Each structure stands twice: as structure tokens, then as C-alpha cells.
Amino acid sequence: MLKKQQKIIVVALGGNALIQEGQAGTINEQFANTRKSVEGIIHCIRQGYSVVVTHGNGPQVGNMLLMVEACCPKIPELPLGVCVADTEGAIGYMIQQCMINSLQKEKINKLAATILTQVIVDKNDIAFTNPTKPIGPFFGKKEAEKYANEKGWTVIEDSQRGYRRVVPSPKPIRIVEIESIRRLLDVGEIVIAAGGGGIPVTQNQSGELEGIDAVIDKDLSSYVLARDLEAECLMMLTGTEKVFLDFKKQNQTPIDLISSKQAEDFLNQGHFPPGSMGPKIEAGISFLRNGGKEVYITSIDKVKEALAGATGTKIIL
């Protein structure tokens, strides 16, 4: 069991932690962005938190699928679930290396470790008949329609930023490696886990695991992870400093502090799209109603200010 004196924060890095809008997504760019992203994590450590880092993989897994399709039939095709595992390992490597370098620079005597994380889902989840999770790059309308016709993709408009491919995104049920994560936290390590929402697997009556093609929303997996670790705080870092009502409209309104009931009402009213802010709000509400104390949503460069109450959106029970 975890030491009782530990206060745990789960920090969920958004897709822009590695690839920012307008970038090509080269490895050099991703490493540079990751180095900036870990600065907020260092601040959390200095505030006395035991830290678990989760991250998205939407751009990376989408790009990997494009590479897989471009190589067919020269090499065997990789299923989506394996692509999720591959990108979780690669992104975990980048975060882990940048984290270790920052810890050494700041003279913090801690280690960082990446756990390839399997997440149990229900094979009968309705998500498999209703794809909603955006992956890969943004396309213009004509290009998106072309891919939909030629490749059979399901595409949607994503938060007025363009069109993206969407894939099944079942609800996470349980983290398979939760005990390994607990043990690493208990000896003081920083853990990188549930990357890209984790590797989706199903479990039969005998307890055997089997991979399934899907992408789990990383914010919902972060909630399940935070819940089962009995974390105090869930922080979700994204491309905006605060959550807004009527986002990108002339009357958009920033939210500083909100209750879980108010957040649920706004979610039901359609203020938070399912492909972007919606899962973050849903994750925050679920976390607070299952023992969590604080939820923060802010940008990657505003962690210190958000924890101090100077910016960001805070959700309370």
C-alpha cells in the first residue's frame, strides 16, 4: 500500500505537450516541447507531490497509422492497439529522458520510470459502433472527404480547427499495472503511465488479457488511475489557459472556479465537445465524486500559477 503521508497528483499532458499547432512534429520538435512540459512537473515535485504523468498520443498514433498504410503491402500491417503500445513506449521514452535530465539539473534526488500500461475495456462498449476519438493530423474539408471515401475513415470537424479521423474510444474500467505503479510511487519514483490512455485490452472469465483495436481517452484513463491511487489532485494540461463557455465564439466566457454540479450542467448543455474539452470535464467530475479533492485544467506553461490559484480553471466538488 502507498504511504499515508504521500499526496499524489496525476498530471495529464495534452497532445500539444509534444506537438504544437503548426509544427511538423519532428523528433527534435517533440523533444524541445517535452523539455518545456516537464518544468511544471518539477514544480509539482517541489510542492511535495508524488507525481504520476500521463500523456496523449493522438498526433503520434495517427501519424503511425499513416505510415503503416503507406508501407502496405511491403510489411505486415500493425493493428491500432499495437500502434498505441508503440507510441506509448516512444513518448514515454521522451518524457522519461527529459524528466531525468531536469531532475539532475535541479538536484532533485528522484528517478523516473515509464510503465507500459494496459487498460481493461468492455469489448461490448458502444464506442465500437460509434467512433468519436480524434487521432492524427488535421485536414481540410476536401482532403478529409477524400480519405473518408478512399479509406473508409470516419472523420469529424474537431473544435473548429479542421477535420480529423476518429476511432473507437471505449471507457476505461481498470488499470492492469496499478500495483506496479503504487510500488514505484512508494519508493519515491516519478511514474509515467497510461500514455495515450493506455493500451486497450479486454479480459475473459479466466482473467486472460487480449488486445483490442481502439484508443482510450487519456483524460478518462487519468481519472481511473487517479481514483485507484487515491490521489488528491488531477491536473489536465491542454492548449488553453482556462476552460471557456462558448469557446471561440464572440461571447466566450472563461471559467475560474466551478463546482462539479455546474460543470455537469454545462457539459449536458453542449458547451464542451466530446472530442476535446468534454472528456476533461467528465474526468474531473468523476474524480471529485470518487474521493478526489481538486481538479485543475490549464495550459502546460501555467502549472505553477494554477496551483497558486492565479489562473487556470479549478473544479471542486
**Active site residue: 14, 15, 197, 275, which one?**
15
Report strand pairing: 163-167 vs 154-157: antiparallel
**Active site residue: 33, 40, 196, 280, which one?**
280
Of 267, 259, 271, residue with least CA distance to 315: 259
Whether residue 15 lies in the annotated active site: yes
Supply the angle between the helices 80-105 and 27-46 in degrees, to the nearest 10. 60
**Phi, psi for residue 192 in degrees, rounded to 5:** -105, 115
Whether residue 14 lies in the annotated active site: no
Whether residue 218 lies in the annotated active site: yes
**Active site residue: 14, 218, 242, 312, which one?**
218
Please tell me the distance from the alpha carbon of residue 63 to that of residue 27, in angstroms, as a whole number.
13
**Active site residue: 16, 33, 57, 63, which one?**
16
Whether residue 3 lies in the annotated active site: no
Whether residue 207 lies in the annotated active site: no
Please tell me the distance from the alpha carbon of residue 53 to that of residue 191, in angstroms, as a whole number.
6
Please tell me the distance from the alpha carbon of residue 78 to that of residue 69, in angstroms, as a whole number.
9
**Active site residue: 33, 92, 133, 312, which one?**
133
Mark 172-202 as b/e (b = at least 16 C-beta within 10 Å). beebbbbeebbebbeeebbbbbbbbbbbbbb
Mark 85-103 as b/e (b = at least 16 C-beta within 10 Å). bbbbeebbebbbbbbbebb
Cite the active site residues. 15-16, 133, 218, 280
